[in-house]
């Protein structure tokens, strides 16, 4: 069998966030549940019923590209189990920002991470308005607080200014 990176590359490109990963994994589980309860040859039917159209198209293309027979349940099972394992092993970059990012911004961040840090990384994005701006990044045990909240706190602390919360 080919290197997992190559086998699943087309599908993995669509898994950008932890939410995407969870969604894909639940769709794979749903497909597994139906796959073995129906007659052979009904894989395409189940794919249409269970899986979201975007993921179904990616899965269908990947199976064809890797010459996996859609009527061979053991080959499909092996492929899907491998895909699940691969998704579960992706590294997670946690990113906390001060606003809710658009899908386009998530795509841009994902591309930047892929090009500058490497492949096989998904984003766990959360937002906290109290950060004011910037980001808090956690990756592979390293923590960086690059938020404006932290900068302001450092400046005020350095200058002896005590901030009080409004009542």
Q: What integer pLDDT is reported at residue 164 of this predicted model?
A: 60
Taking the C-alpha atoms of residue 107 and residue 52, their distance in angstroms, rounded to an integer, is 19
Q: What domains are defined for the chain?
A: 4-88 (no CATH), 91-158 (3.30.910)
Q: What is the DSSP string of 46-90?
A: HHHHHS-HHHHHHHHHHHHHTT--TT-HHHHHHHHHHHHHHHHT-
pTM here is: 0.83
Tens digits of residue pLDDT in 19-41: 999 999 999 998 888 776 656 55
Per-residue pLDDT in tens (0 to 9) along the chain, 167 residues: 446 667 898 899 899 999 999 999 999 998 888 776 656 557 777 777 777 778 888 888 999 999 998 888 889 899 999 999 999 999 999 999 999 999 999 999 999 999 999 999 999 999 999 999 999 999 999 999 999 999 988 888 888 766 566 66
Q: Cβ distance 125 to 105 under 8 Å? A: no
pLDDT of residue 9: 87
Residue 124, beta-bridge partner list: 94
Strands 91-97 and 121-127, bridge-based pairing: parallel
Q: What is the mean pLDDT of the chain?
A: 88
- DSSP letter at 161 equals P
Contacts of 30 (CB under 8 A, 6+ apart): 50, 51
Q: Give the pLDDT score at 1.
A: 40
């Amino acid at each position: 069998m080919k290197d997992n990176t190559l086998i699943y590359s087309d599908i993995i490109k669509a898994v950008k966030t932890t939410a995407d990963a969870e969604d894909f994994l639940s769709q794979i589980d749903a497909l597994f549940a139906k796959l073995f309860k129906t007659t052979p040859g009904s894989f395409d039917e189940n794919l249409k019923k269970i899986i979201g159209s975007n993921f179904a198209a990616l899965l269908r293309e990947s199976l064809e590209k890797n010459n996996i027979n859609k009527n061979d349940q053991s080959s499909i099972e092996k492929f899907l189990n491998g895909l699940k394992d691969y998704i579960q092993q992706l590294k997670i970059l946690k990113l906390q920002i001060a606003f809710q990012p658009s899908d386009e911004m998530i795509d841009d961040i994902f591309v930047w991470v892929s090009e500058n840090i490497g492949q096989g990384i998904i984003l766990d994005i959360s937002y906290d308005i109290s950060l004011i701006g910037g980001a808090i990044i956690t990756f592979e045990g390293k923590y960086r607080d690059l938020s404006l909240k932290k900068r302001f706190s450092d400046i005020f602390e350095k200058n002896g200014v005590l901030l009080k919360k409004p009542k």
